[in-house]
Amino acid sequence: VYLLFQALRQISQRTISTASRRQIENRVAEHQKLFQEDNGLPVHLKGGAKDALLYRATMLLTVFGTVYAIYHLGVSSMPKKQK
C-alpha cells in the first residue's frame, strides 16, 4: 500500500511540475507570418488542408443538424392520425 501511494505521489508531482525538461521550440513568429500573409484566404482556412477539412465537416454537421431539427419540428407540429 505504501509503495502504491509513493508511486502515485511521484506521478502526480511529475505531471504537475512546472519545470519542463524538454525545450519546446518557439514557433510563434512562423505562425504570425502564415496568418498575416495576404493570400485571399480567410483566417480560419490558412492552416492548410486540416483546417479546410475541419471547416467542411463543421458545415456539413451544421446543415444536417438544421435540416434534421426543421424536419422534426414539422413532424411534431402535425396532429397524430386517429385510428
Q: Which domains does the chain possess?
A: 41-78 (4.10.91.10)
Q: What is the biggest distance separating any 2 CA atoms in the chain, rounded to whole angstroms? A: 73
pLDDT per residue over 22-71, tens digit each? 788 999 999 899 899 999 999 999 989 999 999 999 999 999 999 999 99
Give the gyration radius of the chain's Cα atoms.
26
Q: In sequence order, what DSSP letters do the residues of 2-58 get, joined into one string?
A: HHHHHHHHHHHHHHH----SSPPP--HHHHHHHHH--SS--GGGTT-HHHHHHHHHH
Residue 18 predicted with pLDDT over 80: no
Provide the pLDDT for residue 78: 92
Provide the whole-model pTM.
0.58
**What's the rounded Cα separation, in Å, for the pair 63 and 57?**
10
**What's the rounded Cα separation, in Å, for the pair 65 and 61?**
6
